[in-house]
Amino acid sequence: MRLLVVSDLHWAGPAEQARAGYESRAIPNPLQRALAAAWRRGFWLSDPLAHNHRLDRILALNPDPDLVVANGDYSVDSAFVGLSDDACCDSAERCLGALRAAYGSDRLLAVPGDHELGKLSLFGGVGGPRFESWRRVGSRLSLPDWWQRDIGHHRFLGVPSSLVALPAFESELLPGEAPAWRAERARVLQGIAGAVASTGPDRRIVLFCHDPTALPHLAALPEVRARLPQWEATIIGHLHSPAIARLARTLAGMPEIRGLGSTVRRYSAALNRARMWEAFRVRLCPSPTGAEALKDGGWLTAEWDPDRRDPIAWTRHRLPW
Ligand SMILES: [Fe+2]
């Protein structure tokens, strides 16, 4: 079996391309605007709208995998409300459309990322999760709420990380939508718990989960805790850069920081609980770009013989700029 994993493609369709400067427009405070621009230009990614061609490159370099997993974040989310924004939804449809055209729907498994559902802008002023965005994950992107696929001695599971980690985003929800979100989370968690519990004792579990913030919430399920010895790997995205993933491991266990806004609180709380990563055997699938300062992006592949019980061998590939 040859598996290709891509994550954080952040594809920009024409309607999102027309929104150059969207991030600074969402930050009214000039000092915060300058800080955000420095972070983008100095480290993260100068122009998030300028990288569509990298997906074409990955597709060309991986012509015939047996299976493809897309691990979330298909659009730029330039309105910060996820797929409920038509421009963002169009980008995500085009991005998944390119993957389906290249590999066929049967070979493609995909999970939603936080940007599909909506995410507060940097420095927190604009946007957030929208329930309509969650609806559109199914109705427009045709992605299941969660999925499982048994191959050889492995059970692959894909989960919607932001829904699983909903308690961490509770303060960002529209108050009127909170009950609907919670009900969806309970329903989806029940399905995931059932899938984990029904895994045969000699089967190994491989989880695809965009944002590692979800992992402590999964570990809160007794069904998951009982099966952690069978966990072979958890493939995350979200962090884009292997250097950021290494930093997060180093900072695992740091105290939660309150009083500096919800983004800082959420990130520090996630790091506080990042010790959990070891039990889940976390491995990052980078974004195609990685961090601009390091140019450390790319994709993952895995190869294994489904007739044997050997662990899956993962390889990270770098996509040169
Ligand atoms: Fe991302």
Predicted confidence (pLDDT) per residue in 211-262, tens digit: 999 999 999 999 999 999 999 999 999 999 999 999 888 887 778 888 777 7
Q: Is 3 exposed, middle or buried (0-12, 13-18, 19+ CB in 10 A)?
A: buried
User: What does the pLDDT read at residue 249?
Assistant: 83
**Going by C-beta distance under 8 Å and a sequence separation of 6 or more, which residues neighbour residue 171?**
262
Question: How many residues can be counted in the chain?
Answer: 321
User: 72: helix, coil or strand?
Assistant: coil
Question: What CA–CA distance (Å, rounded) separates 66 from 246?
Answer: 30
Question: What CA–CA distance (Å, rounded) separates 231 from 281?
Answer: 7
Domain count, the chain: 1
Each residue's pLDDT tens digit, 9-27: 999 999 999 999 998 888 8
Å from CA of 238 to ligand 1 middle:
4
User: What does the pLDDT read at residue 263?
Assistant: 73
Å from CA of 76 to ligand 1 middle:
8
Å from CA of 237 to ligand 1 middle:
7
Å from CA of 45 to ligand 1 middle:
11
Å from CA of 306 to ligand 1 middle:
31
Å from CA of 239 to ligand 1 middle:
7
Å from CA of 52 to ligand 1 middle:
14
Å from CA of 62 to ligand 1 middle:
21
Q: Is 29 exposed, middle or buried (0-12, 13-18, 19+ CB in 10 A)?
A: exposed
Question: What CA–CA distance (Å, rounded) separates 99 from 280?
Answer: 28
Each residue's pLDDT tens digit, 69-89: 999 999 999 999 999 999 999
Å from CA of 234 to ligand 1 middle:
17
Å from CA of 270 to ligand 1 middle:
16
Question: What CA–CA distance (Å, rounded) separates 149 from 107?
Answer: 11
Q: Is 28 exposed, middle or buried (0-12, 13-18, 19+ CB in 10 A)?
A: exposed
Each residue's pLDDT tens digit, 269-299: 877 877 788 899 999 999 999 999 999 999 9
User: What is the crossing angle of helices 86-103 and 53-61, to 10°?
Assistant: 20
User: What does the pLDDT read at residue 124?
Assistant: 62
Å from CA of 246 to ligand 1 middle:
17
Å from CA of 263 to ligand 1 middle:
15
Give strand pairing partners of 3: 67, 302
Å from CA of 287 to ligand 1 middle:
7
The alpha carbon of residue 257 and the mean position of all alpha carbons in its chain are separated, in whole angstroms, by 23
User: What does the pLDDT read at residue 251?
Assistant: 81
Å from CA of 2 to ligand 1 middle:
24
Domain that holds residue 100: 2-318
What's the CA angle centered on 316, arms 313 and 318, to 5 degrees?
155
Question: What CA–CA distance (Å, rounded) separates 6 from 237?
Answer: 9
Å from CA of 145 to ligand 1 middle:
19
Å from CA of 152 to ligand 1 middle:
31
Each residue's pLDDT tens digit, 176-187: 999 999 999 999
Structure token digits, residue 249: 């491991």
3-state SS, one letter per residue, for 275-308? HHHHHHCEEECCCCCCCCCCCCCEEEEEECCCCC
Å from CA of 253 to ligand 1 middle:
23
The continuous run of DSSP H or E covering 133 comes out as helix 131-139
Beta strands in the chain (DSSP E): 2-6, 67-70, 108-110, 147-151, 154-159, 204-209, 231-236, 282-284, 298-303, 313-318
